[in-house]
Structure 1
Amino acid sequence: MHKEPADPQLACIYCRMSEDREGGGLGIDRQREDCEELAQQLGLKVIRVYTDNDLSAYSGKPRPDYQLMLDDLRRGIYGTVIAWHTDRLHRRPTELEEYIDVCEPRQIQTRTVKAGSLDLATATGRMIARQLGVQARYEVERMIERQRRAREQKVQRGEWSGGPRPYGWEEDGVTPVTEEIAVIREAAEAILAGASARAVAADLNLRKLPTSTGARWDGGSLVRMLKRPRNAGILQHRGEEAGPSKWDAALDEATWRSLRAVLDDPSRIPSSSNVRKYLGSGIYRCGVCGEGLTSFSKGKDHPPQYKCRKNGCVQRDLARLDKWVQAALIKRLQQPDAADLLAAREEPVDVRGAQAELLQARATLDALAQAFGAGDLDMQEWRVARAAARARKEKAEAVLSAAVQVNPVAGLVGAEDVWAGWTALDLSRQRAILDWMVTVRVLRAKVGRQPGGKYWDPDAVVFEWK
């Protein structure tokens, strides 16, 4: 449908940067200044400047200001679009065709600082625009190929392929930052001992130890940092482990894989509705049916209670039960034989054997990939052989994932003041110690005043020390 031509003297400017490496939109400012100078030379009146900073036209991700500009062009607000280059407007043919469909009916002109003008109202002008678009797309694809090949070569040499500064290392990704490496090791040990990621993050913030970008930690950012293969000196490429790195590891592989197993455990991931607030929630057991106890409250005027989660078999005052259990724990930790609590309960893991098996499986997978690429194996042979090698690799990784366990009571056994050490721990560490040391079974309590004049029935709490 024919539309009234827009006023060519009324112009808008569009600026875009794919990656703002300097920060602050300096590249956008330079584009805008050049476009404003061109508008002045052409005698055009600039009504508005549209900017999309740090957004690629090639990626296909939405560009808010670009879409807003198209909507305004459809309404006939401007008769001329000014850009630094045509590739600032679009690098995908589908975007170019949409732009043509908007500009052609209203005879909207396109003026650029570096590529001249485009008359999209004529077949010749549209052909030139399409050729420029094809050229721009070719240049981007060639650049992507070069970057991908460069990353692959770095991975093959065990080098870092670049990106934001990783926590624990300098900008080069190789030189360690001693203080941050210590934090990685400390956080790993705390979580292996039962601490929650939220508690560790809160402690780091309290000590004013920021992330690599200077931000505050939260549970999610800490978990993502600790799960990185680079912490164990393992390269990662396209989401997969790609062999040993040239930088020194912050954690040995067995510790890192054990840490990954703990962090990947679905039972550790809390939602806003099930974050544990009390010592015994889910740990204390009902002495009647064996189910866990959960906390509940009838209202602010009633003290919180523990009760059997499934059948409601038992119900006890929450604060008094926690106090009773803590007293029993401290008494046990003060016994002369408390050092026995540090003895390992699990069978020792052959860490070196598992690591050797893992290296062999990786080497086999690499050799199979080379043989397949050279045509020495067909697809079926490669799949069968790869499946066996991957099974060996996954089995070795599983062994290493259970190799390192930090005893949660290590910091309390032999302490000069066990109670002070206990109260200094966050709730997640206290719960880990409780779960590790004892099974607490809560029976139905006797009703009324007990011998000694108290209403608390001590015989209704049974401790089964592990």
Structure 2
Amino acid sequence: MTTALRAAITTTVGLTAREYLRVSVDRSGEERSPEEQHAEHVETADELGIKLGKPYRDIGSASRYAKKSRDDFERLMDDLRNDKFGADLLWLWESSRGSRKTGEWVTLLDVCEEKGVRFYVQTHERILDPRNGNDRRTLLLDAVDSEHESYKISKRVLRGVKTNLNHEGGARGHGICPFGYERIYERTRDGSGRSVLRPTKQGPLPAEAQPVINLFYGIRAGLSMVSIERVFAADGIVGRRGKPLSAQTLRGMARRYCYIGKREHKGKILEGSWPCIADFEGAEYDGKPVTVEEFIAVFYEVQAILDDPDRRTNHSGGPQHAFSGAMKCGRCRGKLTVTYRKAAGKEQPPAYQCSVKGCVRITKEELDKIILAEVLAYLARPEVYQAVIPEDGGAELDKVRAQLAAKAAQLKAFEDEDPETPAEARLIGRKIEKLNAEITELERREVELTPGQSPLAALFDYGPDVAARWNAKPIEVQRQIAALLLTPDVLGEVRIMQVADSPSDAVADRIKWAVAT
């Protein structure tokens, strides 16, 4: 414990505080996330006997040059003005976390002075009272220094962007290094003599570049983003954060001109200084070599496909079996998938088999007939669509929508960032991937909770000729319907038992419908 903290403890026990958290870089140049700041605040508050209340959080810049709003800062100001702040202290990591705009900072000081709210600044290790002349002077000097630093950062970033766009060899990479590429940095000195890291080269990283090639060729082949997401997940392809690439992330990747060696800036397509993603030895698709010229042609075909408002997915080469993966092994609960065998040199009829341990195997044709009969009977009922989801999401739906709005705002803020260092670029990239995954899950939950938007209704509207309409649906849609219906809460989870655990070896006797209790 520092001397400053020891001296403060005698006067702070019993005080309350609320934090304003925003990403910060400390004096050593190390970035401090809101979570890291909060952890240190909690430790200090415990030592001082101060109780921390609900924090305010923002990811937008406090700079005078920032273009993004800071919603929680505005809420903080409103709470202070309207006596809803409810604490003795406003806790900041450092003064610049409040604002790098001197006028805005002075307004905050004035409001806190009027309301009797003091500051605890973590980097100062003490309480500062805006009613005290010396403390106010310290806080004001912090604001002036922060605004000047913000000015220097803005000039440096804009200069970097301009330099990268106007580079003699083509626009250089700026911001997060795209998935599929690796960027080489070298330490050089800028005009002021400072030692800085500069990107000197960017090229395909084969382990990531090959999946990118597969993405574009898969779209051209008619696969949906969801199909490709599943294939990538099955193949163990993950983003740089170690998590599967979502359909939404893949769609964004399919729109990026960087993969053909170009850069998009404010609606203009510029020549880049890096090669096409297919420009590496061993680039291939479906066992055939892929040339740069061929990939570029495929890229533009994909843009036309994604631009087509009447786009329909052709599933040739995709899933072939409606119920594969939708049923479970009665012994180990592994998924059943379709397999083929030979006996005495002759092909045997396809069968479902446990994909985990091979615990069970059962004839596909007869099992499909039984399962399909149950599915079609269910689909023929007029009331089934709302039975798949609650009629009204209520409070949970409101909560999900609020979370979606917040996550979408965070995503846009991170996507608009212009990182200055490789470490900052990697951090922002990881946060974007995490937010994309969270948004995808929240959107799925919103659909489930929204009245009249049942996933089943969207896939298969009620009407006559159920069997004919089922047969007209692409296999992938059939699989989505099966995934919705073959669950304990609807028709039941289909579990295939071993012959030894069944009344007989008949297919019907080996089926167990596990329903929710």
With normalisation by structure 2, the TM-score equals 0.44
TM-score, structure 1 as length reference: 0.48
